[in-house]
Amino acid sequence: MKVCLLFILLFLSVLAVSQKYSAIKADVVVIGGGTGGTAAAIQSARLGAKTILTEHGYMLGGMLTAAGVSCTDGNDQLPSGMWEELRQELYTHYGKKNLNTGWVSNTCFEPHIGDSIFKSWAGKEKKLTVLFGHTFMNVHKAGNKVTGVSIANKEGKKIRIDAKVVIDATETGDVFAASGAAYDLGMDDPAITNEREAREKSNIIQDLTWAAILKDYGPGSDKTIARPPDYDSSKYFCSTADAPCANKPYIYNTKKVLDYGKLPRSPGAVLDKYMLNWPAHGNDYYLNVVEQSVADRNKSYKLAQQHTLGFIYFIQTELGLKNIGLADDELNGGMAIIPYNREGRRVKGAVRVNIHHIKNPYDYTFYRTGISVGDYPVDHHHAQYPGKVPEIEFPPVPAYNIPMGAMIPETIDGLIVCEKGISVSNIVNGTTRLQPVVLLTGQAAGVLAAKSAKLPEHKKMELRKIPVRLVQEELLNAKAYLMPFTDVKPEHQQWEAIQKIGATGILRGTGKAEGWGNKMFFYPDSLVRTAETEENITDYLPEYFKWKISHSGEDSLLTIAGAFRLLEGFYNAAQAAYHSYPSIIGDVFRSGNFEQIWNNIGLKNYQRARHIKRFELAALFDGLLSPFNLKGKSINLQGK
């Protein structure tokens, strides 16, 4: 009887353990349903990879939704990929395209609407499973390769997920830190980054914000919240022109400050809502809890929550707006569910982007491997740091792209990074952290992961060996920009050709720093300088030098006839060096039947003596010779 009872107890204990722990397999697992992670998971599933997305909360979109930062920053003139998909969905929901209801942004929306769009997308993907309410525990490795993760739900049940590719989309880089990948945290040593804008090595990171969504309940309403513990009104002096302040630094009254993040009304709604994410003596708050446990972080985050509640109480009492209260139909009773972390760990990647790569992209080769684009200036928040922050110069920058290698850890395999923890310097993080950029980087991470996971066994290779052009081709299929050409939109007939030739550097853009919306112009209708173009070709294909057509040193304008001679020289150089083209293409040049080629490519007005335009030359190069794929797999993560 005792033996039988012992057996029963042993069986029950084993059953209890098995119920607390299970294992599943996937092609791709994404940890974190934030901005980048949601994009990565959806894109991976769209490409046929069995994908699992884990999120510790119950919303998708991260800083765009759960953090309440739903007035976006940047990329207004770069309608790229999933970012443009999101905007089109918002236009449909609100029945209009002018979503610049808040003066901080041209694209504002209610957080719950963004969440519903992302969940709708996720729900359409049969290859995607979303696990809400699950927390990351640890990674599993085989040697130097990440092979999976363990997560746990709120009841403590653990799940081991074995995957071909793991994507770290956490807000602070928790997965790559657990994997043993090297990383940086805080300000950089200028001797290491070679950035004069960097001042000194420190662990100082940017202020975070616990945002809130407010609602105007109308005259006579009193939505005053309880006085927060340790409330100190002086913390919010100078936040608006109406607030007490010895030397008023801002001319904006309280209404103008609220309008900063005014949100559009959904159809049928009658009350205005406002995103409260005001940096000037408002609800920015300094915390560096990145290296703390989740439990300790959450305790510290309460300080930021209380600070925001204090600002709301200040607006209601000191500034007399009792009718402005927390929105009862957004987030956690109007308060964000997660903090807006502007900065966390930054992985040391296969490449590291510093400010020189952004300011002067053509002095380097990273641009050739671009997988996402941005146009926001470098912007750091440090006003709430309890001490002196080294003075930082924010350099003017053009629109830029992010290289594929910034997503791949330097030494750890099987892992991709796609949130704010990509491999950039502290200075550069001030622009790459913004919502549209992270969304697009996440989309690229999904492409890279799916392309790797779907390779047949006999062709398996590490992520760092996946051909850059293979990933870029898929991004172009999704109408995602490789090059940040502001003046050539996807509806342009030769958009893809311009993107491809731009990514070779044969035809280059002209960057311009323009405040909050920087630019890079391709000038598609401009004429082509012969010597300049041949110099660019030689930079991409050194063997071209002996086939060049301009030997006089004069940088004359290129004609259509000259363009075909230039292309023939490229063909001869590539054929001699790489045997890249079939003989039939050589026959084209020998035949001289160029007008038919011109027409077949979709170009018009063929006149041999006419000066060729930049978009026409891009179309000719791509349609006839495709230099974008010339070296194929041999283009490495450095773009060489």
3-state secondary structure 220-257: CCCCCCCCCCCCCHHHHCCCCCCCCCCCCCCCCCHHHH
- What's the mean pLDDT in 534-547? 93
Identify the band that residue 578 occupies on the pLDDT scale cut at 50, 70 and 90. confident
- What's the mean pLDDT in 251-274? 96
Identify the band that residue 5 occupies on the pLDDT scale cut at 50, 70 and 90. very low
Predicted confidence (pLDDT) per residue in 130-143, tens digit: 999 999 999 999 99
Can you spell out the DSSP letters for 166-180? EEE--SS-HHHHHTT
- Residue 178's nearest CA partner among 204, 142, 149 is 149
pLDDT for position 240: 95
- What's the mean pLDDT in 365-391? 96
User: Helix-strand-coil percent breakdown of the chain, rounded to 5?
Assistant: 40, 15, 45
Q: What is the C-alpha separation between 174 and 149, in angstroms, rounded?
A: 12
Identify the band that residue 277 occupies on the pLDDT scale cut at 50, 70 and 90. very high
- What's the mean pLDDT in 588-599? 91
Instruction: Inform me whether the pLDDT recorded for 522 exceeds 50.
Output: yes
- What's the mean pLDDT in 410-430? 97
- What's the mean pLDDT in 254-270? 96
The dihedrals phi and psi of 240, each to the nearest 5 degrees, come to: -140, 170
3-state secondary structure 500-548: HHHHHCCCCCEEECCCCCCEEECCCCCECEHHHHHHHHHHHCHHHHHHC
Q: Where in the chain is the domain with CATH 3.50.50.60?
A: 23-94+104-188+343-363+403-467
Predicted confidence (pLDDT) per residue in 462-504, tens digit: 999 999 999 999 999 999 999 999 999 999 999 999 999 999 9
The dihedrals phi and psi of 338, each to the nearest 5 degrees, come to: -130, 160
- What's the mean pLDDT in 88-111? 97
pLDDT for position 552: 56
The dihedrals phi and psi of 367, each to the nearest 5 degrees, come to: -55, -25
**CB atoms < 10 A from the CB of 187, how many?**
23
Superfamily covering domain 23-94+104-188+343-363+403-467: FAD/NAD(P)-binding domain (3.50.50.60)
Q: In the chain, pLDDT over 70 holds for what percent of residues?
A: 95
Q: What is the C-alpha separation between 26 and 36, in angstroms, rounded?
A: 19
Q: What is the C-alpha separation between 334 and 562, in angstroms, rounded?
A: 64
**CA dihedral for 298, 302, 304, 309, sign (positive or negative):** positive
pLDDT for position 18: 41
Q: What is the C-alpha separation between 376 and 398, in angstroms, rounded?
A: 9
pLDDT for position 10: 38
Record the tokens describing residue 555, joined without a space: 């940088």
pLDDT for position 579: 84
Instruction: Inform me whether the pLDDT recorded for 561 exceeds 70.
Output: yes
Can you spell out the DSSP letters for 286-355? ----TTS-HHHHHHHHHHHHHHHHHHHHHHHHTS--TTEEE-TTSTBTTB-SS-B-----EE-BSS-B-H
State the chain's mean pLDDT as an integer. 94
- What's the mean pLDDT in 196-213? 96
Lowest mean pLDDT among 235-249, 394-408, 616-630: 235-249
Identify the band that residue 13 occupies on the pLDDT scale cut at 50, 70 and 90. very low
CA of residue 56 relative to chain centroid, distance: 21
